[in-house]
């Protein structure tokens, strides 16, 4: 029976770890808060005292953590997973990290005879729990084939973009476009509200018009009704991903990415006010009416 160590049991990681249990893998788990692992432990997962403890004898170690710092800590920090992983073990990074970090981790873990694959995901927590994520993979073709048995429980779609780091490039592009769209629909709806338009008619027009996208459709009604219950993606995470994407753009493009930078600034404000609230609350920041000068 193949062994998987899963590190990071947030909104996405919890469901992903559960998929390995459903598929019959032996699963060890670690998270900063043990309470988030209780249901998985009841289903047969082994609780680990550290990422290094989780990785002992694992055939693959999968991480789903918040950012570059968290990723480096769980892989290479004190009691990090790499300290106990045997040569040839798969190191599958499902976290959304920066491009520079993914390339750096690839070099450092490869130097330890580990196989690093950047494999960020798209999809919401319900897709994570049901194995319907889309995986955005950066790896050699040979390494992808070694990893495939550990990816298939998570996904109905695996997109292979090239060598290590390339999956992260596309994930940052994807999440940057999402940030731009969400900030744009928030500003557009705020204008409509302040202009006194019939918001039901506005929603009908937006959702059936050329500006519609999955992000616009998912957020527009919630923004108008101010219903942000059941947050699936926070302002802090959206800001982090967009900031990583802008840093990448600045390293590749001649001119400063104006639109992308504006989205980062908008989410910096949202993060400062309510970092752990739903990203859609950005409408509450942009919807304040202009002060009267009369």
Give the pLDDT confidence of 263-274 residue by residue, as tens digits. 999 999 989 888
Query: Over 70: is that where the pLDDT of 172 sits?
Result: yes
The band of 250, judged by pLDDT with boundaries at 50, 70 and 90, is very high
Kindly state whether residues 186 and 141 are assigned to the same domain: no
Residue 273, pLDDT score: 86
Kindly state whether residues 141 and 111 are assigned to the same domain: yes
Residue 292, pLDDT score: 66
Lowest-pLDDT range, 20-29, 37-46, 140-149, 284-293?
284-293
Q: Evaluate the CA torsion angle 154, 155, 158, 159 in order and state its sign.
A: negative
Residue 253: exposed, middle, or buried by beta-carbon count in 10 A (0-12, 13-18, 19+)? exposed
Residue 291 lies inside a defined structural domain of this protein:
no
Residues 121, 154 contacting (CB under 8 angstroms): yes
Whether the pTM exceeds 0.75: the reply is yes
Residue 262, pLDDT score: 92
Domain of 86, CATH number, reads 3.40.50.720
The band of 178, judged by pLDDT with boundaries at 50, 70 and 90, is very high
CA distance 251 to 262: 17
The band of 294, judged by pLDDT with boundaries at 50, 70 and 90, is low
Query: Over 70: is that where the pLDDT of 176 sits?
Result: yes
Where a domain ends, among 164, 195, 210? Answer: 164
Torsion of CA 78, 80, 82, 85, to 10 degrees: 120
Kindly state whether residues 173 and 156 are assigned to the same domain: no
Which residue in the block uniquely carries the two structure tokens 């609780």? Answer: 47
Residue 55 lies inside a defined structural domain of this protein:
yes
Number of structural domains in the chain: 2
Kindly state whether residues 229 and 174 are assigned to the same domain: yes
Query: Over 90: is that where the pLDDT of 184 sits?
Result: yes
Give the pLDDT confidence of 72-91 residue by residue, as tens digits. 999 999 999 999 999 999 99
CA distance 239 to 274: 12
Domain of 237, CATH number, reads 1.10.1040.10
Where a domain ends, among 164, 190, 222? Answer: 164
Alpha helices in 253-281 (DSSP H): 258-273
In the predicted model, what is the mean pLDDT of the chain?
95
Residue 288, pLDDT score: 79
Kindly state whether residues 87 and 228 are assigned to the same domain: no
Residue 122 sits at the vertex; the CA angle it makes with 224 and 242, to the nearest 5 degrees, is: 65
Give the pLDDT confidence of 205-240 residue by residue, as tens digits. 999 999 899 999 999 999 999 998 877 889 999 999
Kindly state whether residues 194 and 53 are assigned to the same domain: no
Domain that holds residue 67: 3-164
Look at strands 60-63 and 46-47 and give their pairing.
unpaired
The band of 136, judged by pLDDT with boundaries at 50, 70 and 90, is very high
Residues designated as active site: 171
Residue 293, pLDDT score: 60
Where a domain ends, among 164, 180, 201? Answer: 164
């Amino acid at each position: 029976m193949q062994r998987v160590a899963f590190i990071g049991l947030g909104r996405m990681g919890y469901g992903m770890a559960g998929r390995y249990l459903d598929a019959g893998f032996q699963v060890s788990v670690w998270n900063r808060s043990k309470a988030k692992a209780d249901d998985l432990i009841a289903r047969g997962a082994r609780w680990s005292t550290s990422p290094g403890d989780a990785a002992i004898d694992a055939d693959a170690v999968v991480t789903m953590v918040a950012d570059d710092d968290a990723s480096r800590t769980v892989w290479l920090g004190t009691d990090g997973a790499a300290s106990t992983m045997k040569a040839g073990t798969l190191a599958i990074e499902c976290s959304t990290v920066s491009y520079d970090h993914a390339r750096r981790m690839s070099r450092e873990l490869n130097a330890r005879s580990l196989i690093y694959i950047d494999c960020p995901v798209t999809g919401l927590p319900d897709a994570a729990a049901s194995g319907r994520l889309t995986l955005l993979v950066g790896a050699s073709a040979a390494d992808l084939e070694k990893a495939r048995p550990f990816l298939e429980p998570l996904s109905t779609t695996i997109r292979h973009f090239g060598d290590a780091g390339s999956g992260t490039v596309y994930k940052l592009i994807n999440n940057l476009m999402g940030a731009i769209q969400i900030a744009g629909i928030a500003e557009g709806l705020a204008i409509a509200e302040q202009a006194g338009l019939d918001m039901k008619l506005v929603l009908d027009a937006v959702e059936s018009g050329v500006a519609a996208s999955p992000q616009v459709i998912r957020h527009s009604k919630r923004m108008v009704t101010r219903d942000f219950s059941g947050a699936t993606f926070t302002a802090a995470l959206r800001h982090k991903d967009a900031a990583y994407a802008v840093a990448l753009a600045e390293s590749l493009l001649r001119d400063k990415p104006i639109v992308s930078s504006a989205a980062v600034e908008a989410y910096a404000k949202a993060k400062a006010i309510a970092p752990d609230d739903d990203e859609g609350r950005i409408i509450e920041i942009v919807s304040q009416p202009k002060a009267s000068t009369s």
